[in-house]
Amino acid sequence: MSIEKAEQAVAKLEIDKKYYPNFHIAPVAGWMNDPNGLIYFNGQYHVFFQHHPYDANWGPMHWGHLVSDDLISWRRLPIALAPDQEFDRSGCFSGSAVDNSGELCLIYTGHIHLSGEGPTEKIYQTQCLATSKDGIHFEKHGTILAPEEGIMHFRDPKVWQQDGRWWMVVGKRDLDDVGQVVLYSSEDLKKWQLEQVLVSDIDPDVYMLECPDFFPLGDKWILMFSPQGYKAKEYQYRNLFQSGYIVGEWQPGRPFTIIKPFQEMDFGHDFYAPQSFLAKDGRRLVFGWMDMWQSIMPSKADNWAGSLTIPRELILDADNNVRNRPIKELEALRSEQFSLSNLTLNSEVVKTDIDAVSCELKVEFDLTASDAERFGLELAVTKESKTLLYVDLQSNRIVLDRSLSGEGVRGYRSVPLPKTETLTLHIFLDSSSIEVFINEDLYSISSRIYPTPSTERKVNLFAENGTAKVVAVDSWQLKSIY
């Protein structure tokens, strides 16, 4: 399973682009999941991603690769890692990247199937190192950190440099099926010593913490990860797996003191495995995988599957919430603008001229002058499908409803309605996704949608059983990132 063979395979996959994103990172063909190795290195931003280049289903993991000068215009590079060594023979699983004195180092999980798949599977996972001078071609150096005897799930290393040492967090399922994030440190990226277990047993049902990330934000330390096992509880933990964070205080040699327990980070159907990185100006940015395990992925029939979110900036607010908002660079994607203002809806649906195939929308409602039971937007409206985003004044929530979003995706996700006088819905609509940012960065909702193929996808405003006051609508067509 060499890189050359993988490149040949992916080149042979012909894709149908009806759901293919215009301004989101997706595989040229085949399967994508987690973002990996995010880094600003040698004047360029690198995005790697979990990739199966042979078909649109998950399979032996490779690392796909793109670069950008500005975070909005992306160029595809050859596959960076293929599972071609004994220590990573079943897959090059997720990991991160660091700049080691001008050498681009990838620290990833070498995945080995010891026997079969399914309930009786035995796996072995170690952290491995690969390095590159040119940022394109990587040399593998094998396992740098192996788990204790009997541990099967031990993966997704995130590495950073601080106070003259290298630090690594790894997700681990311990022998009692308790999910943990474990911290290690190293002088040289090769020999690692255990520092401490940062968190363990955050919930009786949680058995694994995937994709940990640990970084300072404001005056706190954020432990971001993707827990597996939470049971749904009313509006919480509604997806198969979650992604979120714990806020605390930490410094090398000291325990991690938790200030705020686990919070979900995004409230849509499709957000997993976010990984952070530093922009060249020091902002903490993040990409997530905008899909969910075991979800309907109709684009598999088109020979591709998987998309990342738009890049987002992380902010710590005064109440120790980690908020995320679209990076300002995305404004450079804007082309034709359409605006309207001061519109009052009375139990009606009002059509707009906005084309919603690849667009950004900012819609501001005056909550003090709106009493409709439900009011908001019908998005990506085709003859047979539409996605609803609305304020519900009965439940006092903002709802993204996919009941009519196409291709069998269903279900709604929602967040509390903020007690502000105005409400701003900032929306990014691509061919098969919607990302909503509420009051700039109070909440985000990210979901995949599959509008029936149509040259036109419109945007309507509506108010049900009452009045809604729309202060302003601004929309922009968005250009391609390729």
Site residues for a second copy per CB under 8 A: 232, 234-235, 238, 347, 371, 373-374, 393-396, 403, 410-412, 414, 464-465
Which candidate, 78, 76, 85, 74, places its Cα nearest to that of 108? Answer: 85
As beta bridge partners, residue 186 has 166, 192
* Complex with a second copy: residue 211 or 345, whichever CB lies closer: 345
Q: Is 34 one of the annotated active-site residues of the chain?
A: yes
Name the residue nearer to a second copy (CB basis): 229 or 248: 229
Shortest separation between residue 394's beta carbon and a second copy, angstroms: 5
Number of residues that make up the chain: 482
- Quick check: 439 and 365 in contact, CB under 8 A? no
Instruction: Encode 342-351: b = buried (16+ Cβ within 10 Å), e = exposed.
Output: eeebeeeebe
Give residue 138's Cα distance to chain centre: 25
Helices (H), 410-449: none
Residues 6+ apart with CB under 8 A from 192: 127, 144, 145, 168, 184, 185, 186
What gap in Å lies between CA 205 and CA 425, rounded to an integer? 34
Nearer to a second copy, 124 or 235 (CB): 235
Q: Identify which of residues 167 and 272 has a Cβ nearer to a second copy in the complex.
A: 272
- The H or E element spanning position 325 is strand 322-326
End-to-end, the C-alpha distance of the chain in Å comes to: 28
CB of 277 to a second copy, least distance (A): 33
Instruction: List strands edge to edge, sheet with 74-81.
Output: 74-81, 62-68, 44-52, 30-41, 304-305
Q: Which of 16, 34, 99, 174 is catalytic?
A: 34
Task: Kindly state the smallest distance separating residue 408's Cβ from a second copy, in Å.
Answer: 8
3-state secondary structure of 6: helix
Q: Give the nearer residue to a second copy in terms of CB position, either 235 or 338.
A: 235
Q: Which C-beta is closer to a second copy: that of 135 or that of 376?
A: 376
Catalytic residues: 34
